[in-house]
Amino acid sequence: MKNRLPHALLLLACAVSLVVLARARTTNQPAASRPQRGASLAPPSEKHLKNVRQLTFAGENAEAYFSGDGRRLIFQSKHGALPCDQIFTMGADGSDVKMVSTGEGRTTCSYFFPDDKKILYASTHLASADCPAPPDYSHGYVWAIYPGYDIFTAKPDGSNLKQLTSTPGYDAEATISVDGRHIVFTSVRDGDLELYSMNSDGSHLKRLTNELGYDGGAFYSRDGRQIVYRANHPKTEAEVARYKNFLAQNLVEPNALEIMLMNADGSNKRQVTRLGVASFAPYFLPDGKRIIFSSNYPDIHSRDFNLFVVNADGTGLEQITSYDGFDGFPMFSPDGRKLVFASNRNGAQRGDTNIFIADWVE
């Protein structure tokens, strides 16, 4: 895809135990302005969002996900002097911001364990303390599938870091079932970008997808019976050749992603959306019957990403946000009353992506 998508979309890119003390640092992000809320941050057309509050105010912040008790958020951020994304936690009101990753390498896709006693994230710090090189955009818009990524757990303050994956190649994009027993993640260990599940301690690995192409960004339903994810499966001979060529370079093109569903054991796969655009970051609504996601529908070349809701059978598509820019990475609080998401709205400067929280109104 020749156009450049917002940096927030790039933030996706989500055996031996290693015990490391990761210093938990309190970080004061420079405020672009006093916190705004309510209608000033949401146009009237965004009828499902009320009392919108901005939680971060500088840099590139995305993939904010609630703790099990709904009181804290974990997210990735690049701001100030940070050379690339690191993992932070903060209160659900934006207070008490702390870096909980090592400060080395690049990190992505963090998540709280449901009992809030541990966190989960992917990092390249074992491969190198330096940030990995950005992808070559002369190919068009591509994601880097950094082979140095492995998945780690730690205490919420970043201490007691333990490595869950050690297979060569990309292991990232991990999330946890609500009962805390299973992790779903994306890996290239078998030569393609597939989804796998494992126990929360890294044991009992199971491959869930088998179709050529990219499968990732997966989340469990609240009852643990289903997994929603994003996928791009090349069909034509030319598309297959192009996909394999990029994958050999540790790259993938996220130009046309569809939302998919399957049972937690990998059975009964079905396609939810057929929009032919870049749809990603799916998450179940509290009722378990609908899915919220981000998409540049109806224009695959657009940089305008909004949140949409769709029934699990693909019917009833409804646009939720209407901001002219990027809105993505939605997640509902455990009680279903609040929605957290990332957006370019109210940025201090062009390219800023911040975390917002809103009351959800049916």
Report the SS3 class of residue 33: coil
Q: Given the structure tokens 């044991």, which residue do they identify?
A: 203
- Residue 83: the pLDDT is 95
How distant is the alpha carbon of residue 230 from its chain centre? 11
- Each residue of 298-357: pLDDT tens digit? 999 999 999 999 999 999 999 999 999 999 999 999 999 999 999 999 999 988 999 999
CA nearest to 285, candidates 336, 234, 218, 227: 336
Count of C-beta atoms within a 10 Å radius of residue 306: 22
d(CA 264, CA 259): 15
Q: Given the structure tokens 């929360």, which residue do they identify?
A: 200
Average pLDDT for 243-264: 96
Predicted model pTM: 0.91
Q: What's the start-to-end Cα distance of the chain, in Å?
A: 36
Which residues, in sequence order, are CB contacts of 18 under 8 Å at separation 6+?
126, 152, 161, 162, 163
Average pLDDT for 102-107: 98
- Each residue of 1-59: pLDDT tens digit? 333 344 444 444 453 222 222 223 334 444 444 455 555 799 999 999 999 999 999 99
- Each residue of 108-161: pLDDT tens digit? 999 999 999 999 999 999 999 999 999 988 888 899 999 999 999 999 999 999
More confident residue, 351 or 235: 235
Task: Report whether pLDDT(279) > 50.
Answer: yes
204 with 159: CB under 8 angstroms?
no
3.40.50.2300, 2.40.40.20, 3.40.50.150, 2.120.10.30: CATH of 7-360: 2.120.10.30
- Residue 31: the pLDDT is 40
Q: What are phi and psi of 241, to 5 degrees?
A: -65, -40
310 with 317: CB under 8 angstroms?
yes
219 with 186: CB under 8 angstroms?
no
Amino acid occupying residue 347: G
Q: What is the DSSP letter of 246?
A: H
Which residues, in sequence order, are CB contacts of 342 under 8 Å at separation 6+?
8, 61, 62, 63, 64, 326, 327, 328, 329, 353, 354, 355, 356
User: How far apart, in Å, are the Cα atoms of 163 and each of 77, 173, 207, 217, 352?
Assistant: 22, 15, 19, 20, 32
Task: Write down the domain spans for the chain.
Answer: 7-360
Token couple for 102: 């090592």
- Residue 145: the pLDDT is 97
Predicted confidence band at 185 (pLDDT cuts at 50, 70, 90)? very high
- Each residue of 71-93: pLDDT tens digit? 999 999 999 999 999 999 999 99
